[in-house]
Amino acid sequence: MTAETTAIRTTNLSKSFWGGLRGQEVKALCDVSLEVATGDIFGLLGPNGAGKTTMIKILLGSLRPSSGSASISGLDSTRWRARQRVGFLPENHRFPLYQTGMQMMYHFGGLAGMSRSDIKTRATELLELVDMSRWHKTKIKKYSKGMMQRLGLAQAMLSDPDIIFLDEPTDGVDPIGRREIRDILLNIKKQGKTVFLNSHLLAEVEAVCDHVAILDKGKMIKTGPVSGLIGGKPSYKIETKHLSPEVADRVSHLYPDSKIVGHLISMTFDDALQVNALIDLLRQNGVELISVSPRKISLEDSFMQLIKGEAAGE
Ligand SMILES: Nc1ncnc2c1ncn2[C@@H]1O[C@H](COP(=O)(O)OP(=O)(O)OP(=O)(O)O)[C@@H](O)[C@H]1O
Ligand SMILES: [Mg+2]
């Protein structure tokens, strides 16, 4: 990636805190190198305490790395200029509850140095984008969590940034609200913006991100396109009309990894030829098939395998 096509880069980034029990070192990030292409939605995925918020804080210049470096649009993250074209929705934010949605936009736009007329034009557009126009005169204390997060997305976009950092944007939001947020993110991407999204919700990352990095205990254990992480061997479910105990035994003997429950066989295959071989075997034994369905390996399966592998020292 060239400087123009790389929106965010970290090189051997490490961050330690001396705040753990008895003051010992907590390695929040260990030697993390990643690149985010301009125009991508990039997901930083990891369990609680993995180092995701620490990463965003370093990229936004509110924490300094212990070693290594981070840059935004080619500028070192410790320089204020790196933050000029950046929007941010923090984790667990608290917006002023006594303000209306529109008042809050004036408040944040003012802090970003925007004129009142610019704020008005831009906020009106953005509240429309996040489907909050109807509520702009309602006090924030009456908003649901989903509405609060949609307003937060509008706030993060207010100064028309090129790169938007979102720390757990759907935390505490119900499935309908999450879906709305997902659609807004895809809309933001269409405008050519780069989105850096922290999440521990795998389904969310899978549905919306182009690339992901998986962090665990400060270490990056995998990075790449979402499609590449949802790899693994294909898994199939074969539903039969009637499976006699003799045929079931034969299948179990030939395919020790298969799982047979009643008339249903679940099995992971090395390739499609193996599926056909099992189907042939069943039919030769007079077994009628009702369905053969592939089961997609989700990012969740892949994530669990990776985290378990890491714990086992693979
Ligand atoms: N200021 C600090 N002082 C001491 N330790 C800290 C500090 N900030 C973070 N940590 C520790 O660093 C590690 C990473 O924390 P971080 O908040 O980056 O994780 P996270 O992936 O964002 O977690 P979550 O999903 O819960 O938001 C944790 O062990 C945390 O306790
Ligand atoms: Mg966090």
Residue 3 has pLDDT above 60, yes or no: no
pLDDT at 29: 97
Map out the domains of the chain with their CATH numbers: 6-226 (3.40.50.300), 235-296 (3.30.70)
54 alpha carbon – ligand 1 mean position (Å): 6
Percent over 90 (pLDDT), the chain: 56
Buried b (16+ CB within 10 A) or exposed e, 114-136: beeeebeebbeebbebbebbebb
Q: Which range has the top average pLDDT, 89-93, 162-166, 267-271? A: 162-166
More confident residue, 299 or 235: 235
Ligand 1, atom 27: closest residue by C-alpha: 48
pTM of the model: 0.79
Work out the pLDDT band at 309, boundaries 50, 70, 90: low
Work out the pLDDT band at 227, boundaries 50, 70, 90: confident
**pLDDT averaged over the chain?**
88
Q: Which atom of ligand 1 is nearest to the CA of 56?
A: 18
Query: Averaged over 141-145, what is the pLDDT?
Result: 92
Q: Which of 127-131, 188-192, 223-227, 229-233 has the lowest mean pLDDT?
A: 229-233
Burial of residue 150 (CB within 10 Å: 0-12, 13-18, 19+) is buried
Q: Which atom of ligand 1 is nearest to the CA of 51?
A: 18
Residue 22 has pLDDT above 90, yes or no: no
Ligand nearest to C-alpha 167: 2
d(CA 195, CA 89): 11
